[in-house]
Amino acid sequence: MHSKDQICHEDYQRTADWLLSQTQHRPKVAIICGSGLGMLADALKCQDSFKYSDIPGFPQSTVKGHAGRLVFGELKGKTCVCMQGRFHMYEGHSLSKVTFPVRVFKLLGVETLMVTNAAGSLADSYNCGDIMIIRDHINFPGLAGLNPLSGPNDDKFGPRFPPMSGVYDKSLRKMAFDICKSMGVSQYVQEGVYCMVGGPNFESIAEAGLLHKLGVDAVGMSTAPEVLVASHCGMRVFGLSLITNKVVKSYEDNESVSHEAVLEVSKMRSETLQALVTELISRMDINNNTA
C-alpha cells in the first residue's frame, strides 16, 4: 500500500490470492447487495463465507443492513460471490476502498457484476416496492471530480478514458424483463435512470426538485463507483434498484424518509428479488471453472 488512499495492483492481487487459497469456488458472477438486500446471498448453495474483518485488505461495513460478509457459492450450478454489505463514500471510505472488492473480483475471474441498491423514487409513476432495472446512471460525485478512476491509471485493469455509454448490458436487461413477465410481476417492474448522490443526508425538497427536472428516476448513495470500476476492467454490468421510498418533492408533504423505513421495504420484496437474480444467473451463458 503506497499511501492511505492509493491502492496498487499488488494489494488487489494479495487479497485475491488469499481468497483463492481459502475457497475452491471460482466465481464468474459477483453480486453486491444493497441496504437490507443481503438475503440475496442466502440462496447460494455450498457456501464458503468470510467476514470482511478476516479478509486481508478489505474495508469494513459500518451501515445497518450491510452484514459485512463475503459469500461464495452456487446458484443453480453457477458459481457466484456475493457481498453482503457494500461500502459507501459517506462512511469515510475513499472511492478506491469503496470499489476495492470489484477489482479483487476481476482478479478472481469474475466477468459479470450484478449491483443492487435501495433507492428513493423521483419518477411520478413509480411506487414503493417497485423494482427498477437500471438503464443508465448520473454520477453526481463523479461529475464533480470524485471518481474512483482518478489518479494514476492502472493499465492492467483498463484504459485511461473509458466510455460510459451502454454500460448496463442491454441483453441482461431484456432477459430480466422477460423473467419478470414469466414471474407475473411486470406490474411493478420499471426501467430507469439511477442517480448517485454523496449522502448521508436524504435530499432536501429543492434538491429533489432538481433531480426530478434532470430526469432522474431513482436516487441513492452508492452503485456508480462500483459500476465505473467494473466497466473500466471489462466486466458486464447489470443493476437493480428497489424503490424503498418516494422522495419528498413538495413543501406540502409531511412525509419523511428514514433508513429504518428503507430496510423495512427492502424486506418486503426480498423473495421476488432473490427469485429474479437467481433466474437471471441461471439463464446466463457462463462456463464454471473449478479450482
Residues annotated catalytic, as ranges: 35, 66, 88, 90-91, 118, 221-222, 245, 259
Residue nearest to ligand HPA (CB): 120
**In the block, residue with C-alpha cell 443492513:** 65
Instruction: Determine the size of the site formed for ligand HPA (CB under 6 A).
Output: 13
**Angle subtended by helix axes 100-108 and 224-232, to nearest 10:** 30
211 lines the binding site for ligand HPA (CB under 6 A):
no
247 lines the binding site for ligand HPA (CB under 6 A):
yes
100-119 positions binding ligand R1P, by CB under 6 A: 117-118
Q: CA–CA separation, 15 vs 105, rounded Å?
A: 10
Contact letters (x/-) for ligand R1P, 159-198, by CB under 6 A? ----------------------------------------
Coil vs helix vs strand at 39: helix
Considering beta carbons, is residue 217 or 279 the nearer one to ligand HPA? 217
176 binds, among ligand HPA, ligand R1P, none (CB under 5 to 8 A by kind): none
Near ligand R1P by CB under 6 A, which window of 98-106, 129-137, 158-166, 215-223? 215-223
59 lines the binding site for ligand HPA (CB under 6 A):
no
Cβ pair 192, 217 in contact under 8 A: yes
Out of 20, 63, 257, 263, which residue is the one contacting ligand HPA (CB under 6 A)?
A: 257
| Minimum distance, C-beta of residue 179 to ligand HPA, in the bound complex (Å) | 24
88 binds, among ligand HPA, ligand R1P, none (CB under 5 to 8 A by kind): ligand R1P
Q: CA–CA separation, 18 vs 249, rounded Å?
A: 47
CA distances from 56 to 13, 182, 213 (A): 11, 42, 44
**211-243 residues labelled b (16+ CB within 10 A) or e (exposed):** bbeeebbbbbbbbbbbbbbbbbbebbbbbbbbb
Near ligand HPA by CB under 6 A, which window of 1-9, 44-52, 161-169, 241-249? 241-249
Ligand-binding site membership of 231 (annotated) = no
| CB within 8 Å of 117: residues ≥ 6 apart | 34, 35, 37, 194, 220, 222, 223, 239, 240, 241, 242
Cβ pair 29, 284 in contact under 8 A: yes
Q: CA–CA separation, 235 vs 213, rounded Å?
A: 31
221 lines the binding site for ligand HPA (CB under 6 A):
yes
230 lines the binding site for ligand HPA (CB under 6 A):
no
224 lines the binding site for ligand HPA (CB under 6 A):
no
**Degrees (nearest 5) of the Cα angle 286, 233, 214?**
100
Per DSSP, 168 falls in state B
Binding site for ligand R1P (CB under 6 A): 34-35, 63, 86, 88, 117-118, 199, 220-222, 259, 262
Q: Which residue numbers belong to the known binding site for phosphate?
A: 35, 66, 86-88, 118, 222
